[in-house]
Amino acid sequence: MPVDLPAMFIADARGLDFLNSVATPVDAPIDWIADGAGLVGWLAQAGMVPEAELADLAERAMPGELDRVADQARDLREWFRGFVNAHRGAPLDGRALGELTPLSRLLERDEAYQRLVLHAGGRLALETTRRWRSPESLLIPIGEALARLVVDEDFRHVKACEGHGCTLVFADHTRTRARRWCTMSVCGNRAKVAAHRKRQRARGD
């Protein structure tokens, strides 16, 4: 079933945005990659795969093939959620490498290569691209985003939203590292309203 709401990109890290591709932004849980069409749509919104390649892969896919890749993506998401929950709040060290074997195996399937391209003004540049041979190749940029999270982010500042019942996670890039909410417009405001009501009740007592 198509999801009408746009996906949430509030984490300041694409690897964490991937974990947030299932969430409860209003009342009911939404999984933006519940099926193959959802996976294609989420990747398009995330800007992780060129739209022309997404359209081509969707057109060439056999019936059910994209849905099976979406199944793999959800399995990858929940496995990596376990890794993040086990390690957030503390620095990663070399012992984490052994836990990341599934991610390393995914990255080994990449068909990336470099090519010379002509930029505006006649400047030559070396650009990395990849071959998109099958729908399963859609998992590669996701794996790359997870790997970037592992090597680029300080896991001491990877946090879970403090909102009641919220499952969203984010990288706290604020200067004071004091971020508490997925967004102030959702969980931040809910917390403010709850605190206000608590103060009113206390005054009433």
Report CA dihedral (7, 12, 18, 20) to the nearest 10 degrees.
-60
Does 73 map to a domain? yes
Task: Supply the pLDDT for residue 196.
Answer: 44
For residue 69, name the pLDDT band (cuts at 50, 70, 90).
Answer: very high
Q: Answer whether residue 190 is part of any domain.
A: yes
Report the pLDDT value the prediction gives residue 195, as an integer from 0 to 100.
52
CATH number of the domain at 99, please: 1.10.3300.10
Residue 134 domain flag: yes
Res. 205: pLDDT tops 90: no
Instruction: Kindly state whether residue 136 falls inside one of the protein's structural domains.
Output: yes
What's the length of the chain? 205
DSSP 99: G
Contact between 40 and 50 (Cβ < 8 Å): no
Give domain status of residue 3, yes or no.
no
Q: How far is CA 40 from the centre of its chain?
A: 14
Q: Under a CB-based contact definition with an 8 Å cutoff, are residues 197 and 128 in contact?
A: no
Tell me, yes or no, whether 183 lies in a domain. yes
Torsion of CA 97, 168, 158, 7, to 10 degrees: 80
> What is the SS3 string spanning 125-141?
EEEEEECCCCHHHHHHH
In a domain, 7, yes or no: no
Per-range mean pLDDT, top range of 66-70, 90-94, 126-130: 66-70
**Half-sphere exposure (CA, 13 Å, Cβ side) for 62?**
6
Residues spanned by the domain of 128: 14-204
Q: How many domains does the chain have?
A: 1
SS3 4: coil
Does 48 fall in a domain?
A: yes
Which residue's structure tokens are 């991937």?
Answer: 18
* 4-50 tens-digit pLDDT: 789 999 999 999 999 999 998 777 889 999 999 999 999 999 999 99
CA–chain centroid gap for 184, Å, is 20
